[in-house]
Amino acid sequence: MSAGIRAARFIPPRGTPAWWSRHWLRMVAVISVLVLFAGTHYPKLSIGTPGDGPDKILHFLAFATVTVLLRISGITGGAASTLVLVGGLAILDEVTQEIPGLGRSFDPLDLVADFGGIIVALAWIAALGPDRSGPDWFRTGQDRRIASLVLLLASPVNWLHLAIATSLGAMLGGVFLGVAGRNPIVGPVTMVVVGAAAGGIAGLVACLESGRRHATDRMDREQRCLNCLEPNGCPRCETCGGGYRGPSDRHIPSRRIAMVATLWTIGSAMLLFGGYLLLMTRSSDRSWMGTAVRRYDALGLNFEMMVDATLLGLVGAFVVHRSRRRMSRIAARYGIECLRCGHDLQGLPEQPEPRCPECGEAFVADSGVPDVAARRESEEHGER
Ligand SMILES: [Zn+2]
Ligand SMILES: [Zn+2]
């Protein structure tokens, strides 16, 4: 079984690209924790003016970043142990701010922001993690995607590129929201921080995605082992016993992927908006709900924006998770029905190059025996 790199807790042999990748990730993770502690203990630091302090959002972002790095570098084990470890860090971090002379203080709302960041980070890692329920070709596609990212992160030059793209994105986003986002409610410092965070993430994701394509090409050209990323892993890797697997000729049409993702996004957005409207209309009630809403409002805009970020982050992760699960079930129907339009493909006359009679999408006919287990699984779920 050469399952996914993360899923199988595969420990790469020393000196392989997968080992270097983990090495750099661990180093960056440790540095991020040190930077975090330095930042939260810097004497008498206060960011922004009263009423325009982005410190809750900064807490949220900092702890989300540290959680992602500690978890994907394998320093912490599963999601639960990451929550305990980073949660412990957050509490320690807040308690030690009471040290006399630092001029900082213990703030329970900071802790709430820290845990918001930790939980959103863990939700996204769970949503983007390998999904083991689809057919073989689908799982191989996921393993290849993770392997190309591991290969990308094995080179320090690529880390430099990622850092530059993130900083550029942060600068552009910060300047843009700081100038264009002027408004009487949210202060300029907070706007710059929000813009920088959004721009930084956009820059990082864009750079990761383009870098991943190059890494995939390199992986295929040199037939690298999907586990340790050493070249010449075909048919079997001599370093770790894994092996190279090429791209599949099967895929889910992008139109279908976009459709599923859009439906989930619209559904969740409507739910979120509905809940928000309900709370808005109740805010002047005398009921417990109205009291709760007013008490929440009294915590300040800075805190509310952090709660909004947590909510949006969790809903986003949920949408990605549900869409991906749906994808693996659609993938399991390959050859049984058309993955593009859902037309039944069973009992069609044999053709040299079979196509869906409804939409013309090409498919590879199975040798008469569809993936029985996957098929049963998808029928149990009542999926079409
Ligand atoms: Zn290997
Ligand atoms: Zn079709």
Same structural domain, 152 and 243: yes
Give dist(CA 330, CA 337) in Å, integer.
9
Torsion, Cα of 176, 179, 182, 187 (10° steps): 90
Max CA separation in the chain (angstroms) = 82
Give dist(CA 122, CA 79) in Å, integer.
6
If you write DSSP's letter for every residue of 306-329 in order, what string do you get? HHHHHHHHHHHHHHHHHHHHHHHH
Ligand nearest to the CA of 354: 2
Same structural domain, 326 and 342: no
Same structural domain, 181 and 209: yes
Cα 250 to ligand 2 centroid, rounded to whole Å: 14
Residue 198 placed within a domain:
yes
pLDDT of residue 50: 64
Report yes or no: 50 and 183 within 8 Å, Cβ to Cβ: no
Residue 355 placed within a domain:
yes
Residue 380 placed within a domain:
yes
Q: Which residue has the tokens 């013309």?
A: 360
Cα 147 to ligand 1 centroid, rounded to whole Å: 11
Q: State which residues form the domain around 242.
A: 17-331
Cα 338 to ligand 1 centroid, rounded to whole Å: 35
Whole-prediction pTM: 0.83
Same structural domain, 80 and 117: yes
Residue 172 placed within a domain:
yes
- Whole-number Cα distances in Å, 288 to 5, 254, 255, 294: 49, 47, 46, 10
Cα 126 to ligand 1 centroid, rounded to whole Å: 25
Same structural domain, 237 and 352: no
Ligand nearest to the CA of 345: 2
Cα 381 to ligand 2 centroid, rounded to whole Å: 22
DSSP letter, residue 299: T
Cα 254 to ligand 1 centroid, rounded to whole Å: 31
Element (H, E) at 305: helix 301-331
Same structural domain, 206 and 174: yes
Q: Is residue 370 classed as helix, strand or coil in its secondary structure?
A: coil
Same structural domain, 116 and 207: yes
Q: Which of 331, 353, 375 is the C-terminal boundary of a domain?
A: 331
Residue 4 placed within a domain:
no
Report yes or no: 61 and 174 within 8 Å, Cβ to Cβ: no
Cα 13 to ligand 1 centroid, rounded to whole Å: 8
Ligand nearest to the CA of 10: 1
- Whole-number Cα distances in Å, 312 to 197, 276, 371: 14, 12, 37
Same structural domain, 311 and 343: no
Residue 204 placed within a domain:
yes
Same structural domain, 324 and 351: no
pLDDT of residue 89: 93
Same structural domain, 130 and 268: yes
Cα 19 to ligand 1 centroid, rounded to whole Å: 11
Give dist(CA 369, CA 342) in Å, integer.
19
Q: How many domains does the chain have?
A: 2
Cα 151 to ligand 1 centroid, rounded to whole Å: 12
Q: Which of 331, 348, 368 is the C-terminal boundary of a domain?
A: 331
Residue 131 placed within a domain:
yes
pLDDT of residue 369: 45
Same structural domain, 171 and 213: yes
Low-confidence ranges of the chain (pLDDT < 50): 1-8, 367-384
Q: Which of 293, 309, 331 is the C-terminal boundary of a domain?
A: 331
Cα 126 to ligand 2 centroid, rounded to whole Å: 32
Of the candidates 302, 298, 301, 310, the residue with the CA atom closest to the CA atom of residue 54: 302
Same structural domain, 266 and 325: yes
Residue 7 placed within a domain:
no
Ligand nearest to the CA of 242: 1
Of the candidates 116, 97, 119, the residue with the CA atom closest to the CA atom of residue 106: 97
**Number of helices (H) and strands (E), helices first, in the chain?**
11, 0
